[in-house]
């Protein structure tokens, strides 16, 4: 049997300081199969971002286990891609050079990395902006650059922490459609955290709904929609309304029950 892309069992994360102890996550058990697109939605402060950081090896579990592709996570994972809430581009480097920063850090073959960067630039519609500095790019274009940078080394798992949260609604929808296409074309396993119910349903093959802190998984909802998605079609699909309503009910019903 092929190992799960991500395997989380009995995960608990507690942060301790001199003044207090806070449990961020409790008894999280979840598997993500290769090629899935799992979205995680929940109230602010429920530990969604912490969960991604644990998978990435940036936060250590208090108890429980996390594995990536069958290997236990015991520290920062070099083979994943991570897209954060902000693009975090170097202001003095153009778009293409920001993408290639990944290759410099990882010591990738320059020629291979350059070809891959050009493919990603075409895939994300950044042609003509290769040399543009970050301040010359819109927020949506900056996030496209950040996405290209995260995909440059062809990670099998891509983690995304509310990457489109700061964008206007129209740009966000456009990038959601773009991300759906990239996922279909690359077959990358993606886990995306979001506050947006619509985004969670539109992008996910399944949605994981989390409770208030301490965060736990309330329900798993399979998204029975075609892999190729356009907002105009999806928003008018009864499946979308049903799932969005169910998630809204879970989040609004007091997630500690």
3-class DSSP state for residue 114? Answer: helix
5 within a domain of the structure (yes/no):
yes
Q: Residue 88: its pLDDT value, please?
A: 86
Burial annotation 9-24 (CB, 10 A radius, 16+ → b, else e) = eebbbeeeeeeeeebb
Residues 135 and 186 in one domain: no
Same domain as 174, residue 112: no
- Identify whether 28 is part of a domain: no
Whole-Å CA distances, 145 to 25, 80, 99, 134, 150: 31, 17, 6, 9, 9
Does residue 26 lie within any of the structural domains? no
Mean pLDDT along residues 118-136: 90
- Structural domain boundaries enclosing 190: 1-19+35-80+157-257
Same domain membership, residue 164 and residue 147:
no
132, 154, 176 — which closes off a domain? Answer: 154
Look at residue 249 and tell me if it is in a domain. Answer: yes
Residues 243 and 178 both lie in one domain: yes
Residues 241, 252, single domain; the answer is yes
pLDDT band at 122 (very low <50, low <70, confident <90, very high): confident
Q: 95-106 vs 139-151: helix axis angle to the nearest 10?
A: 30
Give the pLDDT score at 222.
Answer: 96
Q: In this structure, is residue 217 part of a structural domain?
A: yes
Tell which of 117, 132, 154 closes a domain.
154
The mean pLDDT value for 4-29 works out to: 91
**pLDDT grade, residue 86 (50/70/90)?**
confident
**Pick from 113, 31, 23: nearest CA to 62:** 23
Residues 69 and 194 in one domain: yes
pLDDT in tens, 155-199: 989 999 998 887 888 888 988 998 999 999 889 999 999 999 999
Return the pLDDT at 254: 46
DSSP per-residue codes, 142-192: HHHHHHHHHHTT--SEEEEESTTTTS-HHHHHHHHHHHHHHHHHH--EEEE
Strand partners, 11: 28
Number of domains in the chain: 2
Residue 123 pLDDT = 85
Residues 56 and 161 grouped into a single domain: yes
Domain final position from 154, 171, 203: 154
Q: Tell me how far apart the alpha carbons of residues 13 and 26 are, in angstroms, rounded to a whole number.
A: 7
Residues 202 and 247 in one domain: yes
- More confident call, 96 vs 255: 96
Within 10 Å of residue 83's Cβ, how many Cβ atoms? 24
- Residues 57, 162, single domain; the answer is yes
Average pLDDT taken over every residue of the chain:
90
Whole-number Cα distances in Å, 170 to 50, 90, 122, 140, 194: 28, 26, 21, 10, 16
Phi-psi region of 69 (alpha: psi -120 to 50; beta: other; left: phi over 0): left
Predicted TM-score (pTM) of this structure: 0.91
Does residue 69 share a domain with residue 178?
A: yes
Question: Is 11 inside a domain boundary?
Answer: yes
Does one domain contain both 106 and 215?
no
pLDDT at 154 over 50: yes
> What is the Cα–Cα distance from 175 to 144, expressed in whole angstroms?
8
């Amino acid at each position: 049997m092929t190992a799960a892309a991500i395997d989380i069992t009995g995960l608990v994360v507690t942060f301790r300081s001199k003044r207090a102890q806070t449990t961020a996550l409790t008894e999280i058990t979840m598997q993500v199969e290769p090629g899935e697109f799992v979205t995680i939605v929940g109230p602010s402060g429920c530990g969604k971002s912490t969960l991604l950081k644990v998978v990435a090896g940036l936060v250590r579990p208090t108890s429980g286990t996390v594995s990536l592709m069958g290997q236990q996570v015991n520290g920062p994972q070099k083979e994943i891609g991570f897209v954060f809430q902000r693009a975090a581009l170097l202001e003095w480097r153009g778009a293409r050079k920001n993408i290639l920063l990944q290759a410099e850090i990882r010591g990738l073959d320059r020629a291979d990395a350059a070809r891959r960067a050009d493919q990603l630039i075409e895939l994300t519609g950044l042609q003509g902006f290769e040399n543009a500095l970050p301040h010359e790019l819109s927020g949506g274009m900056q996030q496209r650059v950040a996405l290209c940078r995260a995909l440059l080394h062809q990670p099998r798992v891509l983690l995304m922490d509310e990457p489109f949260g700061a964008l206007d609604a129209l740009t966000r929808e456009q990038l959601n459609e773009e991300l759906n296409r990239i996922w279909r074309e690359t077959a990358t396993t993606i886990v995306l955290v979001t506050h947006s119910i619509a985004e969670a349903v539109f992008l996910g093959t399944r949605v994981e709904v989390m409770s208030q802190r301490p965060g736990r998984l309330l329900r798993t909802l399979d998204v029975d929609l075609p892999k190729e998605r356009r907002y105009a079609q999806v928003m008018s699909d009864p499946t979308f309304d049903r799932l969005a309503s169910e998630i809204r009910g879970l989040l609004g019903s007091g997630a500690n029950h």
